[in-house]
Amino acid sequence: MEVRKYQMTLAFRGTAYHGFQVQQNARTVCQTFQDAVEAAFGVRYPVKGCSRTDAGVHANRFVLTMDCPQALPCGAMVRALNNRLPGDIAVLDCALAPPDFHPRYSCLGKRYIYQIWNSQVKNPFLEDLAFQVRSVIDTGLANRAAGMFLGRRDFSALCAAGGGVEDRVRTVCDCRVDRRGDLITLSVTGDGFLYNMVRILAGTVLEAAFGRLAPEEIAGVLDSRDRGRAGPTLPPHGLFLDRVFYDAGALAAECPHWQKEVVRHGADHPV
């Protein structure tokens, strides 16, 4: 029997979930998605995701695949699943994928964003979607600090204990800070990320923004490979997986430093 590989994109609010990956005795996005699949089609088809994601982390565009022997119209599948998924998970689109496509290993890069609500007054509409910082953030200093992370290097200083990978070399091809009113967004794009890397990077940028670490000192922090010299790990609820890249052209257009790093280091494979 021919098995079809369906590629789907999800958006989810991670507040109520312990990440994407199925876990015992914990509610996860994958488990909830498969519950909806089983309710809609009577079978719990296998699912693979592009990332595990931590508890409380959100996604704007999370890619997964589902292997299914049924020939199901994609539009009907999207409608059926969305009718059975809770309000904090949505299927955005669906398409047939090549047999050799893997949402994680076919990935060339990812973009994460970290949201900070920079105000003395809390925002009830962003309570679980942005980390509140009451002191005024100097976005000029923050952007100078963000630029220090560009390039291909060992990011051990930004890896939390328990990461479990030996190769900690990654390429960061875009890293910037934007402010719109009281909402500050850190955006970082790279070929792969270590355990808690973006949240530690964001914490290090804040250290620089508050004058506790000069942006020029960040190179030394990274060279030290010492987690203790980097900033704190910010809470998960400000973090979003924003986009997953499978096309080199799209990644190059998004990330002006990418092609240079690919040519120099051969960073054209998933991490």
Q: Does residue 54 have an active-site annotation? A: yes
**Looking at 35, 54, 67, 138, which residue is catalytic?**
54
Tokens at 131, concatenated? 């980390």
Output the DSSP codes for 218-242: HHHHHHHT-GGGS-----GGGEEEE
Query: Please, how many CA atoms are within 13 Å of residue 69, restricted to the half-sphere of its CB?
Result: 5
Q: 158, 108, 112: which is closest to 267 by C-alpha?
A: 108
> Helix (H, G, I), strand (E, B), or coil: what is residue 172?
strand
**What is the four-CA torsion angle of 177, 180, 183, 184, rounded to 10 degrees?**
10
Residue 51's alpha-carbon distances to 110, 222, 238, in angstroms, are 10, 24, 17
Residue 94: enclosing H or E segment and its boundaries? strand 89-96
> Could you give the residue numbers annotated as active site?
54
